[in-house]
Amino acid sequence: MKLRSVRGTHDLFGEDINKYNIINSVVSKNAKINSFKELQTPIIEFTDLFSKPLGEQSDVVLKEMYTFKDRNDDLLTLRPEYTTPMIRAAITNNLLNELPLKVYGIGPMFRRERPQKGRYRQFNQINFEIFGSNDYFSDLELICVANDILKSILPKNELILNINSLGSRANLSEYKTKLSKYFIDNKQKLSADSVNKIHLNPLRILDSKNENDICISKNAPMINEFINKDSKNHYEKIKDGLKFYNIKFIENLNLVRGLDYYCSTVFEFKTNQLGSQDTVLGGGRYDGLISILGGPDISGIGWAAGIERISMLMDVNETIDSSVHLAITDEKYKKHLMKAIKYLQENEISFYWNYKYNLKKSLSKANTNQTKFIIIIGEDEYNRDSYTVKLLSTGEQHELTLDRLKQFINDKS
């Protein structure tokens, strides 16, 4: 049987791993500038951590979690998202003594979804969270960090920032009741999928992509009719701040987000280049969630972005791996080559040798790899205790002693 990877998973190599590493370094740089501390959590957690907070009736909990019994009958789950594990880690390790706590992390998440373009069963997320602040600036700061990261990774890409406010939990609960009633009254015209959601989570009908559902949703009650004065105020200040920072956005009253824990501010960066999986980054406020998980009654806000979706929008070639290629004409001179390798290692100059003794093949490999320098080791070099260094871009070539190699490479790089 042919070896294959598990459906919905993928290997990272070549161009994709280069993109992953670029994203990683942009994220760490921005996290540092904005004083977010790195927090890595385990991939397995107790299942209970996710069931209630994500919404016991949500798709993630009902259908998408990879859950299994451990040998001692503990029910464990591969983390489907990062927010709840981060809160768990903050509580477990007493990190909430000093607030606000600003944390970030990057790592794999697992959801048993139907795989398609931009949707995987194992995927990587970037995650930023702020615990313990309800200042509108924390919402703004997180959106700005997201915007800065996306802009530096995708400078040519027009991602559209969508924002909305869901009001307080009480507002949201009143709204859900009204919305369910409206959809019950219009049940005949809704898709079967949406009918199932009327009682479970009527909000999700609002972001259905089915034509009939969209048509019915147009006349549904709107969340902005339900949100209280404080939430409105908070939301207005965020919009003001976005204008102050010149960040373009659209207000999307149907933006509700897929997980149950949200209230107040919600936002998404969307693209029109990825088909139906068009959300690159999404997040919002989840006041109340930290106390549900056994922590203090403090607010929280954050976002996550899918690395695979960002990668699909990036335009990056495989980078050149090594700066020096070694070419040796005969095994007789191997010790002379080994001396050069030791020197390159000690001087932290990246090199490649294909373990072959064929000058022509080595030169052509160096050419395809676009290596900058080639060091040639043949009879003359061996006899004179020297090395011939060739600069591939110009063809110029010099015979040098080992101790002069570093200087030459630095000068010509």
Whose tokens are 């699909």? That residue is: 312
Rank residues 262 and 351 by Cβ distance to ligand HAM and give the closer one.
262
Q: From the CB of 269, what's the least distance to ligand HAM, in Å?
A: 8
Rank residues 105 and 167 by Cβ distance to ligand HAM and give the closer one.
105
Kindly determine how many residues on this chain lie close enough to bind ligand HAM according to the rule CB under 6 A: 27
Rank residues 280 and 326 by Cβ distance to ligand HAM and give the closer one.
280
Is 88 a residue that touches ligand HAM (CB under 6 A)? no
Rank residues 167 and 282 by Cβ distance to ligand HAM and give the closer one.
282
**Residue 276 CB: number of other CB atoms within 10 A?**
10
3-state secondary structure of 267: strand
CB 371 within 8 A of CB 320: yes
Which residues ranging from 124 to 143 are in contact with ligand HAM (CB under 6 A)?
125, 127, 129
Is 305 a residue that touches ligand HAM (CB under 6 A)? yes
Q: From the CB of 231, what's the least distance to ligand HAM, in Å?
A: 17
Rank residues 282 and 295 by Cβ distance to ligand HAM and give the closer one.
282
Q: Which of 260, 282, 324, 405 binds ligand HAM (CB under 6 A)?
A: 282
Q: 303 in the Ramachandran plot: left (φ > 0), alpha (ψ -120 to 50) or beta? A: beta
- According to DSSP, the β-strands at 324-328 and 351-352 are parallel
Q: At what angle do helices 334-346 and 405-412 cross, to 10 degrees?
A: 60
Q: 10 in the Ramachandran plot: left (φ > 0), alpha (ψ -120 to 50) or beta? A: beta
Q: From the CB of 306, what's the least distance to ligand HAM, in Å?
A: 3
Provide the token pair at 333: 């001179």
Q: From the CB of 377, what's the least distance to ligand HAM, in Å?
A: 48
DSSP 354-394: -S---HHHHHHHHHHTT-SEEEEE-HHHHHHT-EEEEETTT
Q: 298 in the Ramachandran plot: left (φ > 0), alpha (ψ -120 to 50) or beta? A: beta
Rank residues 183 and 303 by Cβ distance to ligand HAM and give the closer one.
303
- According to DSSP, the β-strands at 397-400 and 387-391 are antiparallel
Q: From the CB of 62, what's the least distance to ligand HAM, in Å?
A: 14
DSSP 80-110: S-SHHHHHHHHHHTTGGGSSSEEEEEEEEEE
Interaction pattern, residues 239-278, with ligand HAM; x per rule: CB under 6 A: -------------------xx-------------------
Rank residues 262 and 387 by Cβ distance to ligand HAM and give the closer one.
262
Which residues ranging from 107 to 126 are in contact with ligand HAM (CB under 6 A)?
111, 113, 118-120, 123, 125
Q: From the CB of 85, what's the least distance to ligand HAM, in Å?
A: 10
Rank residues 304 and 409 by Cβ distance to ligand HAM and give the closer one.
304
Rank residues 242 and 280 by Cβ distance to ligand HAM and give the closer one.
280
Interaction pattern, residues 183-222, with ligand HAM; x per rule: CB under 6 A: ----------------------------------------
Which residues ranging from 309 to 348 are in contact with ligand HAM (CB under 6 A)?
309
Rg for the chain, CA atoms, rounded: 28
Cβ-Cβ contacts under 8 Å for 219 (sequence gap 6 or more): none
Q: Which amino acid is at 317?
A: N
Whole-angstrom CA distances from 264 to 146, 288, 329, 401 are 18, 11, 70, 68
Is 304 a residue that touches ligand HAM (CB under 6 A)? yes
Q: From the CB of 172, what's the least distance to ligand HAM, in Å?
A: 16
- Closest to 110 (Cα-Cα) out of 123, 100, 99: 123
CB 223 within 8 A of CB 126: no
The whole-angstrom separation of Cα 268 and Cα 274 is 14
Q: Which of 141, 213, 287, 308 binds ligand HAM (CB under 6 A)?
A: 308
Rank residues 206 and 324 by Cβ distance to ligand HAM and give the closer one.
206
Is 279 a residue that touches ligand HAM (CB under 6 A)? yes
Q: From the CB of 178, what's the least distance to ligand HAM, in Å?
A: 25
Site for ligand HAM, rule CB under 6 A: 81-83, 111, 113, 118-120, 123, 125, 127, 129, 258-259, 279-284, 302-306, 308-309
